[in-house]
Structure formats: structure tokens, C-alpha cells
């Protein structure tokens, strides 16, 4: 006998979690199935709405630019109001831990590479670093962190014409770690305010203070100071407050590639919201099969170490992600959606899946299911695949999340719409 729920969401990323929350809000019972840890762990923790379209951008106002997107872009399908509702939901989940909700305008966030990128919402830990803020800036890196070279990043920001003075300095972290220690090791030392090494910071008994004392003489008038994304993990706010107090200037984190502590923190916020909303969660097992009757999905099966576990539902949301999250699969011959085998249009010749320029217009980036106005995936003939299946997030085609900087927004907007409509039909 299947475990029954009104709404079943397959996929635990931003889109799936948003869908589950919206569905739960309608009063439906909701279960969320997720296989692996979500790709949020690889993401910067920034929440993009829309930064570019074709050659245009970066857009200060993402909403004003939505009308010019192609017809098959998910934003055009769900409409601007759905995008706003998706961001409203986001704001209510993350509360004070994120900024940017005070304005429709995009922010420009400096990254560890010394680039800047447009985004709609940013973690509080990055708020003091905005590129439109004119305060002079010191970037601090650490010996042994090969992902981040602070003086180089500073020069790069200057080359982008940022409206502030920026310098970078490389310091020895006051505690010595193994040569290839990950960011998380630094973050943990700051969380716990571990004892620094005596040969690096003889006068201090906590790394936070020792770090502040190392940075202070380098400030030289800088009005804010930026670090890689390692200023604490669980106690990020506390560590930042502590450093700011000792340094007398605001501190911020730079956006970075994985491992991404801001991405992990964001996931935790959403998981807490799911628990609060009464969403049931089952994690760790892949969906391997389904049953349908009369064109509707009736049961979904997960594989639990060789055992098939059935989950029944009236409405199903597919939010398994794109190529990165394996919500879209491929072989030498074709591209497919592996859970429900939904149709994904793609060129026959696999050399037409990608462009020769690494940052050219990449067709693979737009791979995904084609939805109707109700976000229901369509088959090759344009008929709905299943009457009770909706898709949300990167499994949808038509958007290049990377080039357009719109991934989180699409997940929030389509997740919200898919969840709400699924719930409303119960």
C-alpha cells in the first residue's frame, strides 16, 4: 500500500522546496522526495532574478527586462506577478538573513574572482560589499587558499571601474591548517573561536581577535573589509559582528564557488520552513519508477537499497533540476528526462548541443521540458505528458540560467506556481 499524500514533490532544491511550501499553504498534505543533497551546495548563495538577456545587461531593474525575453522563457510563461510572489515567499522564509528585498533593483556583488555579478537577493554577510556602495575597500585573503588571491581580485575589480578604491592583501591565517584545508575548516575555527597558533599570534587566545589584529594595520583608511566566504559557518553573524567591532568597519564575504557555505546556510533556512509548514520529507533515495492510469501519475517508486517504496499522490511536481542536478540526462544519442521520461527537444547531432566558444550561446543550457501555460510538461506532439504533473526549476527548458543570471528566480517563481496550483486542485 502506497504512502499517500495530496501533493508529491520530486526534488529538493530551491524549486522543489518552494513548491512544497506553496502547496502546503493551500492546506494540502505534501511530501518532498529528494535523492541527493541539492545543488545549492555548489551555488554561491546569491539569489538571482534576471541579470542579462542576449547582449543586454546587466539590468538594474530585472522586471522591466522580462517582456523582452523569448516566449518560451519560464518567466514569460508564469508572468511577472508570479516572479514577485516567488520572491515574496523567499523573503518570508529567509527573513533577516538575506537582503535586497527593499528594492526591485538588482545589486552588484563582488566575487572571489574579482568579477561582479548582478543579483536580486544576497546573504546579509555580503551586504556590506555591494559594488554600488562607494566606500573604500580592503580585501583579505589567506596564504594557502588557492581559490582566492585578494590582491588580484582587487585589481580586477578596479579594472571593472568600480566606484571605490580597492586594495587586496594576503595574510597568514592565525592558525595553521593542513596545506589543502577547505574553507569549512577556517569557518569552524572562527565559529568556535579556537586558539590560534602561538608562533602566528602570540598575544591572543582566540582566532577572531588574532585575525582582527592582523587585519587592522592593513586597513589604512579602508572603510570596509572583504573576506572569502569563510567568516564563520553556523555562527556567521556572530563572527562578523565580532570582527566588525574589533576592526571598526563593516566586514563582508565575497561570492564564491563551492564549497559554498552561504548555499548550505540557505538550504538550512528552507528546510526549517518546510518542517514548520508540516511538509514531510524523505531523502536519500532516487525515484526509479512510476505508475499511471488514465494519463495521470498514480504512484511514484523510490529505490531504497534495492527495495521499491511506493508513494501515492493526487498531484505531482517535478523539480529534479537540470543537467547539473541530473534532472536532465543524456547519452551519445539523446537527451531525456529520466524520472517520467518527459520529452526534451534537442538537436539530433550532439555537436549542436554546445557552442565552440566556451561562453558562447550554449544550447545545452536551455535543455529542459516544454511546459504548457499550467507548467505541465508536453510531449513531442504538444500534448500534456500527464494531467497531474507540473514541472518547476531547472528541469524546465527555455532559460539559460548561467548566462541570464535567472536560475533562482525561475526556481522560486515556477516552484511557487506549480505548488500552488497542485495544492489548489486538491
Q: How far apart are CA 100 and CA 102, in angstroms?
A: 5
Query: Which secondary-structure segment (H or E) carries 403?
Result: helix 401-404
Query: Coil, helix or strand for 410?
Result: helix
By beta-carbon proximity to other proteins, the closer residue of 209 and 405 is 405
- Identify the DSSP state of 55: T
Least Å distance, CB 386 to other proteins, is 25
Q: How far is the CB of 73 from other proteins (least distance, A)?
A: 16
* CB closer to other proteins, 132 vs 268: 132
* C-alpha torsion 175→178→183→186, nearest 10: -20
Min dist. Cβ of residue 179 to other proteins (A)? 5
91 phi/psi in degrees, rounded to 5: -60, -40
Contacts of 334 (CB under 8 A, 6+ apart): 346
Number of other CB atoms surrounding residue 67 within 10 Å:
9
- Please name the residue that has the C-alpha cell 589604512: 220
Which of residues 59 and 386 has its CB atom nearest to other proteins in the complex?
A: 59
* 368, 335 Cβ separation under 8 angstroms: no
- Cα separation, 266 vs 44, whole angstroms: 10
Q: Beta strands 224-227 and 251-253: pairing type?
A: parallel
Minimum distance of other proteins from residue 367's CB (angstroms) = 9
- For the bound state, the minimum distance from the C-beta of residue 308 to other proteins, rounded and expressed in Å, comes to 23
Nearest approach in angstroms of CB 369 to other proteins is 16
Which C-beta is closer to other proteins: that of 1 or that of 179? 179
Measured from the CB atom, the residue of 357 and 373 that comes closer to other proteins is 357
Q: Of 207 and 274, which has the nearer Cβ to other proteins?
A: 207
In whole angstroms, give the CA distance from residue 315 to residue 387: 9
Question: For other proteins, which is the closer residue by CB, 30 or 47?
Answer: 47
User: Please, what is the minimum distance in Å from the beta carbon of residue 96 to other proteins?
Assistant: 7
Amino acid at each position: 500500500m502506497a504512502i499517500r499524500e495530496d501533493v508529491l514533490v520530486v526534488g529538493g532544491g530551491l524549486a522543489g522546496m518552494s513548491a512544497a511550501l506553496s502547496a502546503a499553504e493551500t492546506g494540502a498534505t505534501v511530501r518532498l522526495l529528494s535523492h541527493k543533497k541539492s545543488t545549492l551546495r555548489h551555488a554561491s548563495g546569491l539569489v538571482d532574478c534576471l541579470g542579462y538577456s542576449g547582449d543586454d545587461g546587466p539590468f538594474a531593474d530585472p522586471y522591466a527586462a522580462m517582456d523582452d525575453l523569448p516566449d518560451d522563457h519560464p518567466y514569460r510563461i508564469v508572468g511577472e506577478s508570479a516572479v514577485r510572489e516567488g520572491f515574496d515567499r523567499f523573503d518570508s522564509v529567509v527573513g533577516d538573513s538575506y537582503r535586497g528585498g527593499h528594492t526591485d533593483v538588482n545589486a552588484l556583488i563582488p566575487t572571489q574572482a574579482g568579477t561582479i555579478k548582478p543579483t536580486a537577493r544576497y546573504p546579509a554577510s555580503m551586504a556590506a560589499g555591494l559594488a554600488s556602495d562607494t566606500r573604500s575597500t580592503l580585501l583579505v585573503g589567506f596564504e594557502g587558499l588557492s581559490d582566492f588571491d585578494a590582491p588580484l581580485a582587487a585589481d580586477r575589480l578596479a579594472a571593472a571601474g568600480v566606484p571605490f578604491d580597492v586594495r587586496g592583501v594576503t595574510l597568514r591565517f592565525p592558525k595553521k591548517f593542513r596545506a589543502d584545508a577547505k574553507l569549512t575548516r577556517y569557518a569552524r575555527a572562527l565559529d568556535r573561536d579556537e586558539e590560534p597558533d602561538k608562533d602566528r599570534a602570540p598575544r591572543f587566545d582566540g582566532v577572531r581577535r588574532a585575525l582582527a589584529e592582523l587585519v587592522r594595520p592593513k586597513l589604512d583608511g579602508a572603510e570596509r573589509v572583504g573576506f572569502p566566504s569563510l567568516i564563520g559557518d553556523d555562527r556567521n553573524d556572530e563572527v562578523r559582528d565580532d570582527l566588525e567591532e574589533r576592526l571598526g568597519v563593516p566586514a563582508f564575504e565575497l561570492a564564491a564557488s563551492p564549497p559554498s557555505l552561504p548555499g548550505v546556510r540557505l538550504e538550512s533556512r528552507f528546510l526549517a520552513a518546510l518542517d514548520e509548514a508540516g511538509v514531510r520529507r524523505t531523502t536519500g533515495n532516487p525515484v526509479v519508477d512510476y505508475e499511471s492510469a488514465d494519463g495521470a501519475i498514480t504512484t511514484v517508486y523510490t529505490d531504497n537499497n534495492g527495495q521499491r517504496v511506493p508513494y501515492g499522490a493526487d498531484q505531482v511536481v517535478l523539480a529534479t533540476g537540470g543537467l547539473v542536478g541530473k534532472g536532465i540526462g543524456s547519452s551519445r544519442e539523446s537527451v531525456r528526462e529520466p524520472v517520467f521520461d518527459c520529452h526534451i527537444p534537442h538537436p539530433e547531432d550532439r555537436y549542436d548541443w554546445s557552442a565552440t566558444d566556451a561562453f558562447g550561446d550554449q544550447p545545452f543550457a536551455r535543455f529542459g521540458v516544454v511546459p504548457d501555460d499550467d507548467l505541465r510538461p508536453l510531449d513531442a506532439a504538444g500534448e500534456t505528458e500527464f494531467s497531474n504533473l507540473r514541472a518547476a526549476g531547472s528541469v524546465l527548458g527555455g532559460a539559460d540560467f548561467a548566462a541570464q543570471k535567472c536560475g533562482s528566480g525561475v526556481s522560486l517563481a515556477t516552484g511557487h506556481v506549480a505548488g500552488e496550483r497542485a495544492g489548489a486542485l486538491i
